[in-house]
């Protein structure tokens, strides 16, 4: 019997790369995203597996529970959960739209947490189950000019690593993917494509493949790219005030 993966933010960037990887390995797909038309196109493209689409804006309150209820209504069991959906915004905190920043918190933190909660109870009953939470190298330091985004990704890493210990000895693994700048729609949405941090952005295909491999190896954290790994490691030893200055520098335009 084929296993099923649920992927949020499934229509572009890392999400779509994960779709291709799982579909090519014969996993049935549950896709969650705002763009219903794009999901229908994906469903037509991957007819070798069962594809269920759930149009949902996860930046809205209660959306995660609605996704869970929709999955149960279709009588689908989730073996792998990929919490990929998220976005960022560039600018000084007090000059950015607070409504959009609140939606960012809802999507990057609340929806990820709630989806993990709802599906984890059933995943623990399975012989084997996996969770992949997409964080960022932003998880390792404060980030002026993207203050809320960096904070949300710090939450994702801390939350995921805590779950690793809680679930140690169980049948569920939790892997956190921490990419640096990646060529996805994130750059245009966050308005960071012309910043120093995006000067050496990795391809979404490469990042997804590394995350996919780490997931099935049961790795706790995967940081993509040698320079990103060195930066995350160095951030452990720099005073956080220095790390914040560096993050502010790379967040400025080239």
Active site residues: 149
Q: Which two tokens stand for residue 61?
A: 């309150």
SS3 43: helix
Question: Is residue 195 a contact partner of residue 249, using CB atoms and an 8 Å limit?
Answer: no
Q: Which two tokens stand for residue 210?
A: 């590394």
Question: Is residue 237 a contact partner of residue 178, using CB atoms and an 8 Å limit?
Answer: no
Contacts (Cβ under 8 Å, ≥6 apart) of 239: none
Where are any strands of DSSP class E within the chain?
Answer: 4-8, 28-33, 51-55, 80-83, 129-134, 172-178, 182-183, 202-203, 221-223
Neighbours of 247 (CB within 10 A): 23
């Amino acid at each position: 019997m084929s296993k099923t993966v649920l992927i949020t933010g499934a229509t572009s960037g890392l999400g779509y790369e994960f779709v291709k990887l799982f579909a090519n390995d014969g996993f049935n797909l549950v896709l969650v995203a705002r763009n219903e038309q794009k999901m229908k196109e994906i469903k037509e493209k991957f007819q070798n597996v069962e594809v269920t689409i759930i149009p949902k804006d996860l930046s809205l309150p209660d959306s995660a529970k609605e996704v869970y209820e929709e999955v149960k209504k279709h009588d689908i069991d989730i073996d792998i959960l990929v919490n990929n959906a998220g976005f960022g915004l560039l600018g000084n905190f007090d000059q950015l739209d607070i409504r959009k920043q609140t939606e960012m918190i809802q999507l990057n933190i609340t929806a990820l947490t709630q989806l993990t909660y709802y599906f984890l109870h059933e995943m623990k009953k399975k012989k084997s189950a996996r969770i992949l939470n997409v964080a960022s190298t932003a998880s390792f330091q404060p980030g002026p000019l993207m203050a809320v985004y960096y904070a949300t990704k710090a939450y994702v890493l801390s939350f995921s690593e805590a779950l690793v210990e809680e679930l140690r000895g169980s049948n569920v693994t939790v892997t956190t993917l921490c990419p640096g700048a990646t060529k996805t729609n994130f750059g245009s949405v966050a308005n960071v494509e012309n910043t120093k941090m995006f000067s050496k952005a990795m391809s979404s295909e490469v990042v997804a493949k590394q995350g996919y491999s780490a997931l099935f190896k049961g790795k706790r954290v995967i940081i993509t790219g040698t320079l990103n790994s060195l930066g995350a490691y160095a951030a452990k030893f720099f005073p956080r005030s220095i790390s914040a200055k560096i993050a502010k520098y790379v967040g400025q335009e080239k």
